[in-house]
Structure 1
Amino acid sequence: MTTTTVTARAVLLDMDGTLVNSDAVVERVWRRWAERHGLLGDDVLKVVHGRQGHLSMAILLPERPVAENLAENRLMLAEEAADTEGVVPIAGARAFLEALGGFPHALVTSADDTLARVRMAAAGLPLPPVLVTAELVSASKPNPEGFLAAAAMLAVDPADCLVLEDSEAGVAAGLAAGMRVLGIGPRAGAHGPTFHVPDLTGVAVAARDGVVSIALPGSRV
């Protein structure tokens, strides 16, 4: 088996689909939303992963006023936070986070702060020391703002950051930030990440002298 080793000075982690498998909740909530608006659930689910909800709504209902999308998004976030059935960690996520330890790393998610904390707790995962959530950015992925903000908060050059992402929007955001992207899972693989693994199982982390080395077993470059 081929092993690729990647080095970085900071690791920036998406949440849903990267650390936490919340697909069951996302599907329930967004299929109900699709039904309310006369849309096909399968079509809606092709859009929503990785983006803030109001941006997904703007894509799916382009004629609707922004204020309505923002208002409904607040309700959707509360609905998602109240539903943790089926929320589980991505394979290998807990060991990966624990191995990062005190090394600079951040959670960069399209969820708001409440939903991020609820889902990480439901999956039994420790929170990174820095959280960049929806409230802290003016533009959703695929805009790179969230990743650039996390790099600035950690005082690390974007080129020295490694992003972990699962979605088309997230991969695009990481690359647009000038960062290398490790794609996690089947959604990411189709969208040109720098590296790709099926999950975090067996991904080994070693940190020394301000640099982390991440060994990716069976990765695709």
Structure 2
Amino acid sequence: MPATTAATVVLTARALLLDMDGTLVDSGPAVERVWRAWAAKQGLDGDRVLEVVHGRQGFASMAILLPDRPMEVNHAENAEMLARETADTEGVVPIGGAPALLASLTGLPHALVTSADDALARARMGAAGLPVPAVAVTAEHVTRSKPDPEGFLLGAELLGIDPRECIVFEDSEAGTRAGLAAGMRVIGVGPATTAYGATVTVTDLTQIQVSTNDSGTLTVTITP
């Protein structure tokens, strides 16, 4: 389906699971500053590094980019990278439609599912002026990074909702693959997600409206 749908699409669910970077928050400039500096230090191409890190936890990205390096080194360096990213929130802003979407979800089953740790998630959501959902699955809560479905399955479990009744909002290939692997439908944010296999693709969150009924069913309306 194209980035801007030709007709209104309606999906129903019992819960929504929301990625953060690139989905709710535009943190691109901050991510680029930190990871290009890391790439230069490692003698790696910055563009290649940015392609790999999107949607993944840092240690998993490092394992792809530096396959011969011990994982304990990756985990240690990932902690340093998270601290640098947490301290750098310049230019972090909400994705279009994110404030209204989160406001509409007040009191409804939803969760944040992000590869960031808790400190980074709160720093970026705060910088963008967005509330952190009551249920938040961050890096501390999982042992495997996206594209593994662990984070989304945990989000569904914490909400008490069957994974098949959840809709994921994602922008990255790793995240889209994780949502689909969890047996969930995926609303892709950004035109690239069409190629990743997203169920429906939108330009941004201004195309999304969420309502509910007395039975607790969420209706997600996607407009052109």
TM norm structure 1: 0.97
Asked if the contact 1:30/1:44 (under 8 Å) is kept, the reply is yes
**Structure 1: how far apart are the matches of 2:37 and 2:191?**
24
Asked if the contact 1:100/1:207 (under 8 Å) is kept, the reply is no
The one-letter amino acid of 1:97's match is L
Query: RMSD of the TM alignment (CA)?
Result: 0.8
Q: Residues 1-221 of structure 1: matches in 2 within 5 Å?
A: 2-208=7-213, 209-218=215-224
Secondary structure of the residue aligned to 2:12 is strand
**Structure 2: how far apart are the matches of 1:202 and 1:30?**
31
Q: Is there any run of 5+ residues in structure 2 with no aligned partner, and where?
A: 1-5
**Structure 2: how far apart are the matches of 1:6 and 1:156?**
16
Cα deviation for residue 186 of structure 1 reads 3.1
The one-letter amino acid of 1:16's match is D
How many corresponding residue pairs?
A: 218
**Structure 1: how far apart are the matches of 2:23 and 2:47?**
21
User: Share of identical aligned residues, percent?
Assistant: 62
TM norm structure 2: 0.96
**Structure 2: how far apart are the matches of 1:162 and 1:99?**
16
The answer to which of 48-57 and 180-189 deviates more is: 180-189
Deviations 1:72-114 (A, max 9, x none): 0000000000000010000000000100111100000000000
Secondary structure of the residue aligned to 2:112 is strand
